Amino acid sequence: MKEKDLEQFNGSQNFYVWNPLSPTYGASEGVIYVAENAGNGAFWLLDMIVANESYNSSIREQLNNDYSFARMHFWQLKVNISTQTATVSCLIDLDQPVWKKEIEYTDFPLSEIYICVGDDGEGTNKKLFLASEY
Q: For the domain that residue 106 is a member of, what is the CATH number?
A: 3.10.450.150
**Interval 80-128: pLDDT, tens:** 999 999 999 999 987 889 999 999 999 999 999 999 999 988 889 999 9
pTM, full prediction: 0.94
Element (H, E) at 53: helix 43-55
At 120 the pLDDT is 87
At 104 the pLDDT is 97
Asked whether residue 101 is domain-assigned, the answer is yes
User: Band of the pLDDT at 26, cuts 50, 70, 90?
Assistant: very high
Which residues span the domain enclosing 119? Answer: 12-133
Domain total of the chain = 1
pLDDT at 69 over 90: yes
Asked whether residue 119 is domain-assigned, the answer is yes
User: For 105, left (φ over 0), alpha (ψ -120 to 50), or beta?
Assistant: beta
Asked whether residue 117 is domain-assigned, the answer is yes
Asked whether residue 102 is domain-assigned, the answer is yes
